[in-house]
Amino acid sequence: MADIQSPLPGTFYHQATPEEPPYKAKGDAVAEGDVIGLIEVMKTFIEVKAEAAGTFDAYVADNASAVTAGAVLATLVD
Amino acid sequence: MTLEIVKPGLATSVQDLGRPGYFHLGIPEGGAMDRYALRAANLLVGNDEGAACLEAVFMGPEIRIGADCVLAVTGAEMPIKLDGETVPTWTSFAAKAGQVLSFGFLTEGARIYIAVSGGIATEPDLGSRSTYPIGMLGGIDGRPVQPGDVIPVGEDGAAKPCLSVPEDLRRRPGTPAELRVLPGLYWDRLTEASQTAFFDDTWTVASEADRMGYRFKGGRPMEFVEREQPFGAGSDPSNIVDGCYSYGSVQVPGGTEPIVLHRDAVSGGGYFTLGAVISADMDLIGQLQPNTPVHFRRTDMDQALAARAHRRAMLDKLRNALAG
């Protein structure tokens, strides 16, 4: 199990746009550097990238929820 | 001596105390969002207190140190690492050529100030090194730092490691944060009920909060006193015939979400401003994270001046505490 943490405070989104599916779903392969979500802060959207490879397990933070820096956003299984 | 940017963080920029004197031309004063923290960082490393530092917001940069020097990081709480080893905040420390400064997750506040002995020595524009991206002034080519930037640093003075700012002189916003507001020229545009609601409601910092202004949401929409639309003013009740905006003034476009104008704000426009956050509380805004609850507290000119004097006394205490 590996946690993906938020690099900064803001609002977390699972999707690139409301019309698109979430970046990742349970069982998806995740490579290092894959985008798993967006953080909105200071009128900009910052991509959250996986820092290690693994298999996507689940989003921990809800879509469109407020998160703090270091908050767990999603988990990977090895 | 140089600092090399390995990773820039988020909108990390060179800032000093700003470029006063051009606001009437629409060029904002700019400079550090938390001026007290910038002064403290400089005093810790033996610089003039207005020397240029790096201001990083929410996320720290990664920096390779070009030569032996003394560093200090103040402002927000964010674990500081020198070659992976943790070093204390609000305290000066020695770094050797080739070492890498990096940061952990932000735990409190919003902005850190990284001071280096000798001070950042980029070319000043209009008397200041402060970065103002919209005007392409200051910093490095008038923009936030990028990976690969090599930032020049001035001659080292008499910097000493292990100087530390006493705990009671490290100023932070509480939760909820309290911001004191002096009602202004257009206060009477609001109905009495809305005047009361503004101070009673709990607002939270919106994600639209940056060096230009901090937006707040969550309070009740405001109601305006009926009027005949003045010649030259827009039709919305929150519009005025264009007027001046001061540093700290609170505009409320459409009467919904107050915006406190900060260091890089415009100098005038067509929205009414209900008043201004007092100067003594402006640094605190620079340390607010999104979603932080905030209360606005009504104050008057006497209290605002007393608060300013109190801030000045605190700064004198800081200078005495760090005088070598």
Considering CB atoms only, which of B11, B58, B208 is closest to A69? B58
Query: Is residue A46 helix, strand or coil?
Result: strand
- Mean pLDDT computed over every residue of chain B: 96
Give the Cα separation of B315 and B218 in Å (integer): 34
Residue ranges of domains in chain A: 2-77
Contacts of A42 in chain B (CB under 8 A): 10-11, 57, 207-210
B90, burial (CB in 10 Å: exposed 0-12, middle 13-18, buried 19+): buried
What are the backbone dihedrals phi and psi of residue B24, each rounded to the nearest 5 degrees, phi first? -65, -15
Per-residue pLDDT at B294 exceeds 90: yes
Residue pair B119/B51 in contact by the 8 Å Cβ criterion: yes
Interface contact flag, A42 B107, Cβ < 8 Å = no
pLDDT for the residue B73: 98
Give the Cα separation of B99 and B14 in Å (integer): 21
Give the Cα separation of A42 and B214 in Å (integer): 9
B43-54 b/e with 16+ CB inside 10 Å = b?
A: bbbbbebbbbbb
Structural domain ending residue among the three candidates B114, B134, B168: B168
Per-residue pLDDT at B218 exceeds 70: yes
Answer yes or no: do B189 and B44 share one domain.
no
Residues B271-281 have pLDDT tens digits of 999 999 999 99
Q: What is the number of H-type helices and E-type strands within chain A?
A: 0, 8
pLDDT above 90: percentage of residues in chain B: 94
Give the Cα separation of B86 and B75 in Å (integer): 17
DSSP code string of B23-53: GGGT------SSHHHHHHHHHHTT--TT-BE
Residue B112 identity = I
Per-residue pLDDT at B157 exceeds 90: no
Interface contact flag, A9 B291, Cβ < 8 Å = yes
Any domain includes B129: yes
Number of domains in chain B: 2
Residues B174-217 have pLDDT tens digits of 778 999 999 999 999 999 999 999 999 999 999 889 999 999 99
Q: What is the mean pLDDT of each run of 10 residues along chain A (78 residues)?
A: 92 95 96 95 91 95 95 94
Q: Band of the pLDDT at B156, cuts 50, 70, 90?
A: confident
Answer yes or no: do B27 and B144 share one domain.
yes
Measure in Å the smallest separation between the Cα of A56 and chain B Cα atoms.
Answer: 23
Going from the C-alpha of B11 to that of each of A60, B61, B144, B207, B249, the distances in angstroms are 27, 9, 5, 15, 24
Strands B108-116 and B100-103: unpaired
User: Residue B261: which of B279, B242, B248 has the closest Cα?
Assistant: B248
Residue pair B275/B252 in contact by the 8 Å Cβ criterion: no
Per-residue pLDDT at B146 exceeds 70: yes
Any domain includes B324: no
Residue pair B312/B287 in contact by the 8 Å Cβ criterion: no
Interface contact flag, B207 A8, Cβ < 8 Å = no
Give the Cα separation of B288 and B265 in Å (integer): 17
Which residues form the domain of B266? Answer: 177-312
* Assembly ipTM: 0.86
Interface contact flag, A66 B210, Cβ < 8 Å = no
Answer yes or no: do B157 and B192 share one domain.
no
Residues A4-22 have pLDDT tens digits of 999 999 999 999 999 999 9
pLDDT for the residue B324: 63
Contacts of B210 in chain A (CB under 8 A): 42-43
Structural domain ending residue among the three candidates B168, B186, B219: B168
Q: Band of the pLDDT at B160, cuts 50, 70, 90?
A: confident
pLDDT for the residue A78: 79
Q: How far is CA A21 from the centre of its chain?
A: 13
The β-bridge partners of B95 are: B69
Name the residue with tokens 């709990």.
Answer: B202
pLDDT above 70: percentage of residues in chain B: 100
Mean pLDDT of B296-308: 98
Answer yes or no: do B211 and B289 share one domain.
yes
Higher-scoring residue by pLDDT: B94, B171: B94
Give the Cα separation of B190 and B181 in Å (integer): 15
pLDDT for the residue B172: 80
Contacts of A7 in chain B (CB under 8 A): 59, 105
Instruction: For chain B, list residues whose CB is within 8 angstroms of any CB belonging to chain A.
Output: 10-11, 57-59, 104-107, 110, 207-210, 289-291
pLDDT for the residue B161: 87
The β-bridge partners of B15 are: B53
Mean pLDDT of B88-97: 96
* CATH tag for A2-77 (out of 1.10.3720.10, 1.20.1260.10, 2.40.50.100, 2.40.128.640): 2.40.50.100
Q: Mean pLDDT lowest for which of B6-10, B92-96, B133-137, B320-324? A: B320-324
The β-bridge partners of B18 are: none
